Amino acid sequence: MEKNDKTTGTVTGIIANLVVVDVNGPVGQNEICYILHNQERLMAEVIKITEKQAYVQVFENTRGLKPGSKVEFEGHMLEVTLGPGMLSRNYDGLQNDLDKMEGVFLKRGEYTDPLDREKKWHFIPLASEGDEVIAGDWLGEVEENGMPHRIMVPFKLQGSYIVKSVAKEGDYTVDDEIAVIESTNGESISVNMVQKWPVKIPIKTYKEKPRPFKLLETGVRCIDTLNPITEGGTGFIPGPFGTGKTVLQHAISKQAEADIVIMAACGERANEVVEIFKEFPELDDPRTGKKLIERTIIVANTSNMPVAAREASVYTAMTLGEYYRTMGLKVLLMADSTSRWAQALREMSNRMEELPGPDAFPMDLSAIISNFYSRAGFVRLNNGKTGSITFIGTVSPAGGNLKEPVTENTRKAARCFYGLSQDRADSKRYPAIDPIDSYSKYLEYPELQETLSKTLGEQWLSNVLKAKDVLLRGREANEQINILGDDGVPIDFHERFWKAELIDFVILQQDAFDQIDASTPLERQKYMLEKVLSIVDAQFNFNHFEEVGNFFKRVINQLKQMNYSEFKSEQFNNFEKELDDILNEFSIEAEETQQATA
C-alpha cells in the first residue's frame, strides 16, 4: 500500500502502549505510523480501525505522551529490509541492529539500519540479458559468510519481465544497480541488492509447496529415532519451567542439518537471551568448522520494548526465514517462547475490549497460531531448486498445564509434539522429552515412510513402534511394582520394566557435554536401536528380581560406554564384546547352546 499524500492524525487517548488516534484521511490495517513526541518519533502499528479513529499499538514506551500529539501514517505495513549482510546480526523485533545502538537501555525513538550500506560485495551474475524472469527468480549471487546469497527479482513485482541488463562480475554495495528488468508494457525497473517486504504477508514466490518428505537430522536421538521432524516441518516443545526447553533448542540449532539458523527470542527473559548472545559467538559449527554465529540471525525482543514488540519479533524472524528459503536454502527457525507472544496478543485484545476466549486469550488465537505455523514448509522454486523452513517453537504453560489454550491451539497447528516432563527433568533424564506423550505425525506420511525405508531399511518404522510399545509396557510394569512392591509381582514385570529402562538410558538420554554423545548420526542411531531391541527380544533366565536389576544395570553401563566411544572404533568394538559376554551369563539361548555342545 503506497500513497503520495500521507494521512495525518492527532492522539486523543492513551492506554499504556495502545493509543487512539483521530485521523483525517484513509488508513489501512497494520499500517505503520509515527507519533511525534518532542524530538522523538515513536513507531506504531494500526491494529483496529473505526469510522474516524485508528487504534495503534506503539512499539516504544509511551511515558510522557499526551493527547494532541501529531501522528504521521507511512502508507505501508511493518516491513523488514532484506539484503546481504544479515547473517551473524543481532536484531530487535523491528529489525534494528542492536550492535549499532549505545547504552544499557535503548533510547526511545532510535532506529538503526539493518544493513551495512558501505560494505562491498563480490557479485556474480546468474541471469543473462534477454532472460524472462518473475518475482523471486535469481539474478545473481554474492557470498555471505560462506553461504550463497542470491539477489532476486523483487517479490512485490507481478507478472513476467525481461532482463534488459545485468551488472558484470565485480564488487558493489547493496544500493548499487545490479540489473535492469523491463515489464511487458516497456517500463524499466532498476534492481539493487535490497528489497523490503511486509512481515505479516507470507512470501509466496515458489512454484509449489508439497508435503515434507525428507527427514531433518538433528543429532538428538529421542527426536530422530522416535519422533522425527521433517525438513520443512513444524514442531513445538511445551513444558514446565526448568525442564530444558531453551537448552534443547540450542542443541538442535547447533546440530541440525540446516544452512541458516534464526533464533527468535520473543520471550524477553534476560538469562536465556544473554546466554544466546554470549554462547553462539563461541560455539564451533560442526558443519562448517567456523563459528555457529556466522550462519545465525538472532531476533531478540529487548526488555525496554513493550509486549507489542513480541508479536513483531516472531513475524520478523519468519519473514527473514522465507527470504533465505527463496534462495534454495534450508532454514531452521526457533522461537522461544511463543507463550509470551500469545500473552502479548491477550493483553492488546483486553485493552481493545474485545470478546475474550478461554483464559482471556483472543477468540481467534487458534487461527493466528495456525496461520503463522503454516508459513513454514518445504517449497519447490520456479527454477526447480528446493528450500525449506523448519519451525520449532517452545511453549511455557503456567504451572506445566498442557491443557491451557496456547498449548492446545499450538498442538492443532504443529505436526510434532515434544512434551517435556517435570518428572524426567527432576530425575536428570535429559533431554526430558516424554517418550509416551510425544509424537510425530510425519511418521504417518507415506512420503517420509518411503524415504526412511530407503535410507534406514524397511524394518526401521516397525522398530520405532516396537520401542515405543516397550516403553509403554515398562511404565505400566513400574506402576504395578510401585503399588504391590518388588516381591509382590512376577519377575516378568521387573524384566519388562528394565527393558524399558534400557531404551530410556541408551537411546533417549544423551550427554550434551560429551563431544561424541552430544550428536548422533542416523547410521549410529539405527545400529544402537537394533542392538538394544535385540536385547529386548532376548530371553533370560532369572531366579530373583534382584538379579534382573543388577544384570540390566551392567548392560546399560556397557551400552553407555559404547555411546561415548567413536562409532565402530577399537574401543567401541571392545565394549561390544564385553557386552556380549554379560548377555551370555543369563541368556537362555546361550545356556541351551552350551548344553548341546556338552
Q: 193-236, pLDDT tens digit by residue?
A: 999 999 999 999 999 999 999 999 999 999 999 999 999 999 99
Q: Helices 522-537 and 460-484 meet at what angle, rounded to 10?
A: 50
Amino acid at 525: Q
End-to-end CA distance of the chain: 89
Euclidean distance between CA atoms 469 and 477, whole angstroms: 12
Q: Which helix (H) or strand (E) holds 236?
A: strand 234-238
Mean pLDDT across the stretch 155-166? 96
Which pLDDT value is given to residue 597? 53
Q: What residues contact 370, with CB distance under 8 A and at least 6 apart?
A: 409, 412, 413
pTM > 0.75: yes
Q: Please determine, for residue 593, whether its predicted confidence score (pLDDT) is greater than 70.
A: no
Residue (of 125, 182, 118, 176) closest to 150 by Cα position: 125
Taken in order of first residue, the domains within the chain and their CATH numbers are: 8-77 (2.40.30.20), 116-193 (2.40.50.100), 221-441 (3.40.50.300), 460-597 (1.10.1140.10)
Give residue 2's pLDDT.
45
Sign of torsion, CA 59 390 221 472?
Answer: positive
Residues 505-526 pLDDT 10s: 999 999 988 999 999 999 999 9
Q: How many CA atoms lie within 13 A of 597 on its CB side?
A: 6
What the block records as the C-alpha cell of 145 is: 559468510
pLDDT for 4 beyond 70: no
CA distance 537 to 14: 69
Q: How many CA atoms lie within 13 A of 66 on its CB side?
A: 3
- Judge whether 244 is annotated as a binding position: yes
Chain-wide mean pLDDT for the chain?
92
| Tens-place pLDDT, residues 491-505 | 999 999 999 999 999
Closest by CA position to 267, among listed 232, 215, 303 = 303
- CB of 453 closer than 8 Å to CB of 460: yes
pLDDT tens per residue, range 453-464: 999 999 999 999
Task: Count the alpha carbons within 13 Å of 507 in the hemisphere toward its beta carbon.
Answer: 31
Please state, in angstroms and rounded to a whole number, the distance separating the CA atoms of residues 242 and 571.
Answer: 36
Residue 1 is predicted with a pLDDT of: 42
Among residues of the chain, what percentage have pLDDT more than 70?
96
- Residue 47 contacts residue 56 (beta carbons within 8 Å): yes
243 is in an annotated binding site: yes
**Dist CA 564 CA 510 (whole Å):** 10
> What pLDDT shows up at residue 3?
45
593 is known to lie in a ligand binding site: no
Q: Residue 92: is its pLDDT beyond 80? A: yes
241 annotated as belonging to a binding site for a ligand? yes
Q: Which of 575, 494, 517 is nearest to 222 (CA)?
A: 517
Contact 96, 114 (CB under 8 A): yes
Tell me if residue 10 falls in helix, strand or coil. strand
**Cell numbers found for residue 17:** 502502549
What local confidence, expressed as pLDDT, does residue 361 receive? 95
Flag whether pLDDT at 85 surpasses 60: yes
pLDDT (tens digit per residue) in 321-336: 999 999 999 999 999 8
234 among annotated binding-site residues: no
User: Mean of the pLDDT values across residues 168-192?
Assistant: 96
Count H helices and E strands in the chain, helices first.
Answer: 15, 25
Report the range of poorest mean pLDDT among 92-96, 277-281, 421-425, 446-450.
277-281
The verdict on whether residue 239 carries a ligand-binding annotation is: yes
* Residue in the structure block whose three cell numbers are 501522528: 71
Task: Tell me the percentage of the chain whose pLDDT exceeds 90.
Answer: 78
Q: Please list, in sequence order, all residues whose beta carbon lies within 8 angstroms of the beta carbon of residue 350, skipping any fewer than 6 positions away.
A: 356, 360
CB 310 within 8 A of CB 317: no
How much is the average pLDDT of 380-400?
93
Give the DSSP H/E element, type plus range, for residue 590: helix 588-597
Residue 102: its pLDDT value, please?
80
Q: Would you state the pLDDT for residue 271? A: 60
Unique residue bearing C-alpha cell 534443547: 248
Residue ranges of the alpha helices (H) in 282-380?
A: 308-325, 338-351, 365-373
The answer on pLDDT for 590 being more than 80 is no
Judged against a pLDDT cut of 60, whether residue 287 lies above it is answered with yes
* Greatest Cα-to-Cα distance within the chain, rounded to the nearest angstrom: 102
Sequence-distant (6+) residues with CB within 8 A of 427 are: none
Mean pLDDT for 72-88 is 96
DSSP state of 171: E
- As given in the structure block, the three cell numbers for residue 136 are 523471486
Ligand-binding annotation for 140, yes or no, is: no
Picking from 335, 356, 334, 332, the residue whose alpha carbon sits closest to that of residue 346 is 356
Chain-centroid distance, C-alpha 34: 32
